[in-house]
Structure 1
Amino acid sequence: MRQCLALLTLLVSLPLWAAQLQLELGGAVRSLDSAALLKHPQAREIDIEQDVAYKRAMHYRAVPLAALLEGVTAGDHLQAVALDGFAAEMPAGPLLQAGPARAWLAVEDPDKPWPPLADGKPSAGPFYLVWTHAQASGIRPEQWPFQITTLRRLASVEQRFPALLPDPKLAADDPVRQGFSLFQQNCLACHRLNGAGDAQFGPDLNVPHNPTEYFRPEFLRMYIRDPQGLRRWPQAKMPGFGVDVLSDQELEALLAYLKHMAGRRG
């Protein structure tokens, strides 16, 4: 009886809602509790003028991400993994800087829950990587992962996934090389290529076939710019990449990389 009462007392004393963020930054794995993060010494209220997930102004309680990245240096490479398999690849340098753009870990407060992302959808919580003054440093939408479960330090994409690399004989200024960089920033969070990548969200973009092989060029450009404008279905999740995210020149470089990789299936 006493044991039952002790257990009941313990359960009552625990927070009713507490999410866990796992940090795998080398050495021991750490787990951070959302309740504790909301009370973090550096936590503060921030305003985001144009939130990527909600597409409007938002207000959050957040912790500077750099305060949580113990032992991480600017030359390191990080990955943010979300509940749905989205895996954002990010160089650590921008995440550690204090400005002009600054990365924050927004933490959802159960007493002030965030709105759903859409009808029938959950919120962006419990953890969401947001940026203040994002445009000042050219932060891209894929660098705003939400519903994060894990932050981990990893070797670079080039080291982990050599199957993604373009032909090493290409000139240093070949557009394909820029396209490879853009692929990492904008596509690798959701897609694999040649079976390489950590994402479990979208299809492989080279196996069994590359989109440059089955889309006419003008339609592939249209699809990347506005997926729903080319073919509409309720379950579609791919966002459009407007010229403010991917310039026309960058889009051509990305397509050059994809076309190049159609000839490099291993």
Structure 2
Amino acid sequence: MTGAGLLVHLAAPMQSWGSPSQFGTRLTYPYPTRSAMTGLFACALGLPRGSDLSDLAGLRYTVRIDRPGRLLRDYHTTGGGYPREKTVITAAGGRRPLKEATLQSERWYLADAAFTVAVTGPPATTDKLADALRHPVWHPYLGRRSCPPTAPILITTTGDPAADLLRLPLHREPEHPRPGMAEGCVEVVFVHDTDPGTGHPPVTQVRDHLPTDGTRRFASRPLWETRHTFTHAQHAGTGTAWISALTTYTRT
């Protein structure tokens, strides 16, 4: 099926969408980043680092946060318990003293999160990506190689993927009603990388835009948010219940 865009789904026990971090602390954004999506697609296409990414730079993304997940910290140490001649080498080429030999770091993940992403672009590019996601050259992962997806990433190609986000079943269980919301309904956050036409300014700036030459000099870009009410019937649950609902939707 040829269309102007893709619907992709990103779900895993752990995901990590790296944000600018310093030293031993590696943070994550609360939703997939443009640079990570570019990397995911480049992986499926089999593009080595340094490849021309100009066609991927023209893609536009709308992220639906099906399940925001929860933050999970992974604590690491390295270099401790060794004699000094085997401790971690410093930037100057020496060895750390024993009392400073153990290096500590922490990596942050999103646990049990799920996102559905509308990817819009020229049909020649989106059709190529659809084929690559069906038969990836290298296995795609969700931010880090330790985060493989739990289901096929490609849902379908479609002429208006952003509109489909409003109808596609949610990958989450029904929730208890919140104050001011009808029973069984929930507000779902959409994150847009172009102005959705609400008349509101961007809610934030994220530094996750890669240049087209494949180097890793990230630039900032604005993001907008909208909120949409989803009913109890649109909550498809998880596991096989969600897969069945998704299959029914894509075949109608």
TM-score by length of 1: 0.23
Which is helix-richer, 1 or 2?
Answer: 1
| TM-score for the superposition, normalised by structure 2 | 0.24
The structure where strand makes up a greater share of residues is 2
